[in-house]
Structure 1
């Protein structure tokens, strides 16, 4: 989809189909800030992709995105060693990794003071 206006359903909802919306920005920091703001201004956060010729910039932008999975110069590359999950209203848990076991267990920290035995 092109020329999707800010706030449009296509830019704010998870569409499980062959649909992608693209936010672009120039080399200006203000444009980058605006693109990140618009990307994060959604109730869901399953995944996002960052495409740029500058690897350092792609990492910096990805760190500011509120999505469970962020790809650099690719999309939908999955590996069983890393979690697949969403942030905000997207999904629950951590599929496809050892983190999925967190849904089946509960960690408790117990500290014993040996001097008082």
Structure 2
């Protein structure tokens, strides 16, 4: 149920502003400020089943919005070379793959780490 601030503070459910009874209710809040809700079952509000939803004032139109950051698409996949028959070529191909994996990780995660 939606209640006044005074009713919220004292868990007074005697004259709610609005009631919801289906157990599957949804509420759309369209105004700024505090909106107080509590459970009307005796003892539930005192047990903490109440909520104060504060909708902040929206910024004025003269404030410039924060620019959106675009993230580059991931680098194209690179096919791994065919397995080499000797150990030297195998180590070399592993180094190349490890380097490519590191570059892809940097492109994907590095830009978001820099922006954060």
TM-score range, shorter chain: under 0.3
* TM-score with structure 2 setting the length: 0.22
Larger radius of gyration: 2
* TM-score with structure 1 setting the length: 0.22
